[in-house]
Amino acid sequence: MSFKALGLSEAIVRAIEKKGYSNPSPIQEKAIPPILERKDVLASAQTGTGKTAGFTLPVLQILSQEQSLRKRPIRALVLTPTRELAAQILDNVKAYSEYLDLHSMVIFGGVNQTPQIRTLRKGVDILVATPGRLLDLHSQKALSLANIEILVLDEADRMLDMGFQRDINKILNLLPVKRQNLLFSATFSKQIKQLANGILHHPVSVEATPENTTVEKIDQKIYKVDKNRKNELIIKLISEGDWQQVLVFTRTKHGANRLSKKMSERGITAAAIHGNKSQGARTKALKGFKKGDIRVLVATDIAARGLDIPLLPHVVNFELPNISEDYVHRIGRTGRAGASGEAISLVCHEELSYVRGIEKLLGEKLQSEILEGFEPTNNTEESKPASRNHHHRKSSSKRNNRNYNRRSRR
């Protein structure tokens, strides 16, 4: 999904490109279309999700579509709890409206109000404010809220925590009844729900959780297998599991090429990306992968580092990295945004020492299995210490496997 496809104008997309964003974040993808449709939106999003652009971009677009009145009455109001946040939001507004004919400004307390009043007099389309100073200046008739078309409550939970409920109520009474309302909050207590119910009309709810930086949500599993059977095993896992979007890590560029070729020969669309591939080839592969045209992306650690893929159901370590931290980076590409993720490692005898290093780093044992028909020939004592608690000994049927797992979890 591109910013343009979300319905944003050329002038806004140009400003976004200047900021260097290539794709919308999940909250942007979810929030921008309903806002552009002039719906009320209730968004669950924390700082770091890209929420500011999530409301700023569509608000700017809406304002820029209508001819500014000569006097530029305030048409959009963003309320936010702290002056730091207010200043940050204004920075965003300024950057994204660089190619638009819109005036914006910020007001907050604790500083001399005279310059703020002077700027207000020149006409402002979009005002970012903290509640206290806004009410102050309103009572002095330095501003009017009678023409507000869009109200944004940012970090609504923090505003309530900071005791702004009464101020918010007062401000709501100063606004025209007919307006669009957007409420952003990281948490949803009873009070926030009450506030939202009182303000929003048939809101569209959208949600974004920050990227999962821990490995807790990831289901990690090791399959022990002989080195020369790995190709066969991975193809079986992908085919029989009907996995549609798989990121596979190899240790070497040649390994990535070889595996991707093998998969293509077996009818699984795959592409390799690594340092020897041109930027064009990498971009093409990534695009195909994101679109679903390519089912498997085979990557080396370095090539994968800059990959902008938000959410993956399956990550496979075709070979384990010899640096334990790389394992954590690799599997961090699954289990994101609250979705369940699976990280599978194919481990041959020579890699068992890497398993121990990884387990030490994670502070936990990794669940280990042997799949029927893929029993390693060299399954010696060395494998035991790595997986004593969960080690799945060779068993004669899948049913036995399940029973064993159930027992071992008790």
> For residue 213, with 0-12 CB atoms within 10 Å meaning exposed, 13-18 middle and 19 or more buried, which class applies?
exposed
CB of 150 closer than 8 Å to CB of 184? no
Q: Which CB sits closer to ligand AMP, 155 or 319? A: 155
Q: How far is the CB of 51 from ligand AMP (least distance, A)?
A: 5
- The distance of closest approach from Cβ of residue 92 to ligand AMP in the complex, given in angstroms and rounded to an integer, is 7
Nearer to ligand AMP (CB atom), residue 29 or residue 342: 29
What's the min distance (Å) between Cβ of 81 and ligand AMP? 14
Binding site for ligand AMP (CB under 6 A): 21, 24-25, 28, 47-53
In whole angstroms, how close is the CB of 308 to ligand AMP at the nearest point?
8
CB of 91 to ligand AMP, least distance (A): 9
In the complex with ligand AMP, which residue's Cβ is closer, 53 or 346?
A: 53
Give 55 or 289: the residue with its C-beta nearer to ligand AMP.
Answer: 55
Q: What angle do CA 397, 402, 407 make, to 5 degrees?
A: 125
- Helix H, strand E, coil C: the string for the chain is CCCHHHCCCHHHHHHHHHHCCCCCCHHHHHHHHHHHCCCCEEEEECCCCCHHHHHHHHHHHHHHHCCCCCCCCCCEEEECCCHHHHHHHHHHHHHHCCCCCCCEEEECCCCCCHHHHHHHHCCCCEEEECHHHHHHHHHCCCCCCCCCCEEEECCHHHHHHCCCHHHHHHHHHHCCCCCEEEEEECCCCHHHHHHHHHHCCCCEEEEECCCCCCCCCEEEEEEECCHHHHHHHHHHHHHHCCCCCEEEECCCHHHHHHHHHHHHHCCCCEEEECCCCCHHHHHHHHHHHHHCCCCEEEECHHHHHCCCCCCECEEEECCCCCCHHHHHHHHCCECCCCCCEEEEEEECHHHHHHHHHHHHHHCCCCEEECCCCCCCCCCCHHHCHHHCCCCCCCCCCHHHHHHHHHHHHC
CB of 277 to ligand AMP, least distance (A): 24
Compare residues 27 and 145 and give the one whose CB is closer to ligand AMP.
Answer: 27
Q: Write down the least CB distance from residue 83 to ligand AMP, Å.
A: 15
Q: Return the number of the residue (182 or 234) whose C-beta is nearest ligand AMP.
A: 182
Q: How far is the CB of 402 from ligand AMP (least distance, A)?
A: 43
Count CA atoms within 13 Å of residue 345 on its CB side. Answer: 28
| Nearer residue to ligand AMP within complex by CB, 24 or 203 | 24
Specify the residue, 88 or 269, whose C-beta has the smaller distance to ligand AMP.
88
76 vs 296 by CB, closer to ligand AMP = 76
**Least distance from ligand AMP to the Cβ atom of residue 89, Å:** 8
| Backbone dihedral angles phi then psi of residue 326, each to the nearest 5 degrees | -65, -35
Least separation in angstroms between CB 53 and ligand AMP: 4
> Which CB sits closer to ligand AMP, 21 or 188?
21
